[in-house]
A and B are shown apart, each in its own frame.
Chain A
Amino acid sequence: MAGKTLYDKLWDAHVVRQDDDGTALLYIDRHLVHEVTSPQAFEGLRIANRPLWRASSILAVPDHNVPTTTADRGNGTAGISDPISKIQIETLNSNCKSFKVNAFSMDDIRQGIVHVIGPEQGATLPGMTVVCGDSHTSTHGAFGALAHGIGTSEVEHVMATQCLIQKKMKNMLVRVNGKASEGVTSKDIVLAIIGKIGTAGGNGCAIEFAGEAISDLSMEGRMTVCNMAIEGGARAGMIAVDQKTIDYVEGRPFAPTGEQWEAAKAAWSDLKSDDDAEFDIVVELEGKDILPQVTWGTSPEMVLPVTGNVPNPADEADSVKSSGIQSALDYMGLTAGQPINEIQIDKVFIGSCTNSRIEDLRAAAVVAKGRKVASNVMLAMVVAGSGLVKKQAEDEGLDVIFKDAGFEWREPGCSMCLAMNADRLEPGERCASTSNRNFESRQGQGGRTHLVSPAMAAAAAVSGHFTDVRSL
């Protein structure tokens, strides 16, 4: 019999019961909650008069709607100028209070994007099942955890039963062989993977990322890769546990200590696929072939190396795809054949659960240091993923580097990743963004998003157009 994959092991360890048709009850260890997808779930519990199954499994934080300007953040929720956002955040606060859920309030230094704070607090541990009413929950798979995004009905289901009704997904392996080149980051690697497998490539699968270029990554880099598993269609992405994982977790507030720490470490050492494990789908890339990436269209699979040219719909034989390219070009205001590095930008956003950790800010700061944001760039903003990331960056002097270069240094939150707060693009504006989705209007109605790494975003900011960061 073939060995087990990492996903098989995580699955097996969490099955409470399984029916003949394969439908299982999967036990959930950690439930992360934010203000947007939880109010209707709490309301459902209240209507049915159901308690939380295990309140201590939940950690809640507001992130999607919170303002990022210091002025707005000074007064707690009273400072939120949008009344509807304000109600949503207050609703989270009051729900957490009445259901006795551990929550970080908006003015707590530990507040931040839910997928940044989970790992930062050690609330995400290897071997856990982690869920959140947010598709980028795949991020937590970087710790050898099984992490899914779920809908609001499932949020309520997990709150009430501590379980998720699931069928096992397929095993998919994405291996990036060899080393990545100098100047190529985790974001470039994952964009190249999505370019290869397509946005539906991982549908129905749990993806394990492996290979030298992946294991070489820091935990921050691994989180960036797993974060975007969902953009490749996979609900869960994961990476085997190694010494880096353990070192990252050690000493964090929610991490085990003493004897429990030793026992946990021993248990975690098995959180990798067996050598003879079999995968349903295997995709391989060569690290050396990956260049800094830039998306040109309205789907993350519409991506090219910065050295490339915008595609021509006429070159595509499949008519559905060809018209897809044409409508993306129309929306993005680009012409077929245009070199990527000549595309001028209006705004820059460095942030989001994909790229707002300390390492991301350091990478952008290296490029920004001693340079100035180009005059055609109206706004370049840096939004740390959490209050603690922001503080660490300030301790390292990164905020000064950014401010000197002309970037705005904001308070933590989702910000212009999805523009639910005041941070947004105006119609037709073009943005170099370190976030994860370039869908139409994602960053503001009519806005045009190009996804890039933090270093590439900073390079675009100081050049006024996309540019190969390796040439700066």
Chain B
Amino acid sequence: MEKFTIHKGVVAPLDRSNVDTDAIIPKQYLKSIKRSGFGPTLFDDWRYNEPGEPGMDHSKREVNPDFVLNKPRYKDASVLLARRNFGCGSSREHAVWALDDDGFRAVIAPSFADIFFNNSFKNGFLPIVLSEEIVSKLFEEVEATEGYELTVNLEDQVVVTPSGESFAFEIDDFRKYCLLNGLDDIALTLKHSDEIAAYEEKRKATSPWLFN
């Protein structure tokens, strides 16, 4: 997994609440058996004027100029600013893969759906919860200033604005540790193999039907 320490990047504002995973990456692209290549189809229905299918050359499709991510000023954005309950809907990790593949490293919102939130950490992608109030303020600043950048400092758990204002965010110690070090959590869990095996033996004795 890619490490996440400090990231500074242009912010793109996606001003809608309840952005669901079907919108982030439509189902037709889930037929891929790969983990990469989802970037060009991120927000596909909003991004292009015509429906897309897997296997198309997406660079040749007509883009919807009104969609915020298509505006030239957000072309190089790597931090997404969103409203509440971002990532609701399905468990598809393809949503995170698509954001990551399109160059995003972090998303800021007042709240996230649980599965999306969880999936993010597995991919070196940081979901940051800030209050509704701060998020609204950031929306205003981003929209008012072309090239607006935020610095996300994971070590210190702060988001810093161009004027130097900083907002603290919470993160679990374990997740922070994995992100900062780019650790593979399967390897970490397998260090506890003995405990897992011991648990299994105990359960087999009391509830053998779970192992049929």
> Interface size on B (CB < 8 Å)?
60
Q: Say yes or no: is A254 at the interface (Cβ < 8 Å to chain B).
A: yes
Tell me the chain B residues, 171-212 only, with Cβ under 8 Å from chain A.
172-174, 185-186, 189-190, 192-193, 195-196, 199-200, 203, 206-212
> Judging by beta carbons under 8 Å apart, are B33 and A39 in contact?
yes
**Partner among B16, B90, B112, B118 whose Cβ is within 8 Å of the Cβ of A154:** B118
Q: Say yes or no: is B119 at the interface (Cβ < 8 Å to chain A).
A: yes
> Judging by beta carbons under 8 Å apart, are B30 and A135 in contact?
no
Instruction: Annotate B77-115 by CB proximity to A: 1 below 8 A, 0 otherwise.
Output: 000000111001111111010000000000000011111
Q: Say yes or no: is B153 at the interface (Cβ < 8 Å to chain A).
A: no
Task: Find chain A residues with CB under 8 A from B23 CB.
Answer: 439-441
A149 to B55, CA, bound (A): 29
> Judging by beta carbons under 8 Å apart, are A16 and B93 in contact?
no
A235 to B209, CA, bound (A): 26
CB distance from A325 to the nearest CB of B (A): 12
> Judging by beta carbons under 8 Å apart, are A200 and B174 in contact?
no
Q: Say yes or no: is B28 at the interface (Cβ < 8 Å to chain A).
A: yes
> Judging by beta carbons under 8 Å apart, are B196 and A161 in contact?
yes
Q: Say yes or no: is B41 at the interface (Cβ < 8 Å to chain A).
A: no
> Judging by beta carbons under 8 Å apart, are B89 and A437 in contact?
yes
Q: Say yes or no: is A162 at the interface (Cβ < 8 Å to chain B).
A: yes
> Judging by beta carbons under 8 Å apart, are B122 and A134 in contact?
no
Task: Find chain A residues with CB under 8 A from B212 CB.
Answer: 56, 254, 256, 260
Task: Find chain A residues with CB under 8 A from B94 CB.
Answer: 152
CB distance from B75 to the nearest CB of A (A): 24
Q: Say yes or no: is A70 at the interface (Cβ < 8 Å to chain B).
A: no
Closest to B92 in A: A37
A153 to B188, CA, bound (A): 14
CB distance from B57 to the nearest CB of A (A): 15
Q: Say yes or no: is B72 at the interface (Cβ < 8 Å to chain A).
A: no
> Interface size on A (CB < 8 Å)?
78
> Judging by beta carbons under 8 Å apart, are B17 and A128 in contact?
no
Instruction: Annotate A137-148 by CB proximity to B: 1 below 8 A, 0 otherwise.
Output: 100000000000
A164 to B31, CA, bound (A): 25
Q: Say yes or no: is B166 at the interface (Cβ < 8 Å to chain A).
A: no
> Judging by beta carbons under 8 Å apart, are B172 and A50 in contact?
no
> Judging by beta carbons under 8 Å apart, are B54 and A84 in contact?
yes
Q: Say yes or no: is A271 at the interface (Cβ < 8 Å to chain B).
A: no
> Judging by beta carbons under 8 Å apart, are A151 and B122 in contact?
yes
CB distance from B210 to the nearest CB of A (A): 5
A162 to B208, CA, bound (A): 16
Task: Find chain B residues with CB under 8 A from A40 CB.
Answer: 33-35, 93
Task: Find chain B residues with CB under 8 A from A299 CB.
Answer: 18, 20
Instruction: Annotate A1-41 by CB proximity to B: 1 below 8 A, 0 otherwise.
Output: 00000000000000011010101010101000000110110
> Judging by beta carbons under 8 Å apart, are B209 and A84 in contact?
no
Q: Say yes or no: is B27 at the interface (Cβ < 8 Å to chain A).
A: yes
A82 to B22, CA, bound (A): 20
> Judging by beta carbons under 8 Å apart, are B115 and A135 in contact?
yes
Task: Find chain A residues with CB under 8 A from B26 CB.
Answer: 441, 445
Closest to B88 in A: A199
CB distance from B186 to the nearest CB of A (A): 5
Q: Say yes or no: is A109 at the interface (Cβ < 8 Å to chain B).
A: no
Q: Say yes or no: is B164 at the interface (Cβ < 8 Å to chain A).
A: no
Q: Say yes or no: is A324 at the interface (Cβ < 8 Å to chain B).
A: yes
> Judging by beta carbons under 8 Å apart, are A29 and B210 in contact?
yes
Closest to A153 in B: B122
Instruction: Annotate B127-161 by CB proximity to A: 1 below 8 A, 0 otherwise.
Output: 00000000000000000000000000000000000
Task: Find chain A residues with CB under 8 A from B90 CB.
Answer: 134-135, 149, 437
A153 to B200, CA, bound (A): 23
Q: Say yes or no: is B162 at the interface (Cβ < 8 Å to chain A).
A: no
A439 to B85, CA, bound (A): 14
A195 to B20, CA, bound (A): 17
Q: Say yes or no: is A125 at the interface (Cβ < 8 Å to chain B).
A: yes
A15 to B209, CA, bound (A): 18
**Partner among B18, B51, B96, B196 whose Cβ is within 8 Å of the Cβ of A16:** B196
> Judging by beta carbons under 8 Å apart, are A150 and B91 in contact?
yes
A43 to B32, CA, bound (A): 13
Q: Say yes or no: is B45 at the interface (Cβ < 8 Å to chain A).
A: yes
Task: Find chain A residues with CB under 8 A from B32 CB.
Answer: 84
**A/B interface sample: 9 pairs, CB < 8 A:** A40-B34, A40-B93, A43-B33, A56-B212, A84-B31, A135-B89, A165-B185, A200-B113, A256-B208
Spell out A's residues near B (CB within 8 Å).
16-17, 19, 21, 23, 25, 27, 29, 36-37, 39-40, 43, 48, 50, 53-54, 56, 64-65, 82, 84-85, 87-88, 91, 125, 127-128, 133-135, 137, 149-154, 156-157, 160-163, 165, 167, 169, 199-200, 203-204, 233-235, 254-256, 260-261, 263-264, 267, 299, 320, 324, 327, 418-420, 427, 437, 439-442, 445-446
Pick the 9 closest A-B CB pairs, nearest first. Answer: A153-B122, A256-B209, A151-B119, A39-B33, A151-B93, A200-B85, A149-B91, A152-B93, A445-B51
Known: A37-B93, A441-B45. 15 other contacts (CB 8 A): A16-B199, A21-B174, A37-B30, A84-B31, A149-B91, A150-B118, A151-B122, A153-B122, A163-B196, A203-B111, A203-B114, A233-B85, A235-B115, A263-B208, A327-B16
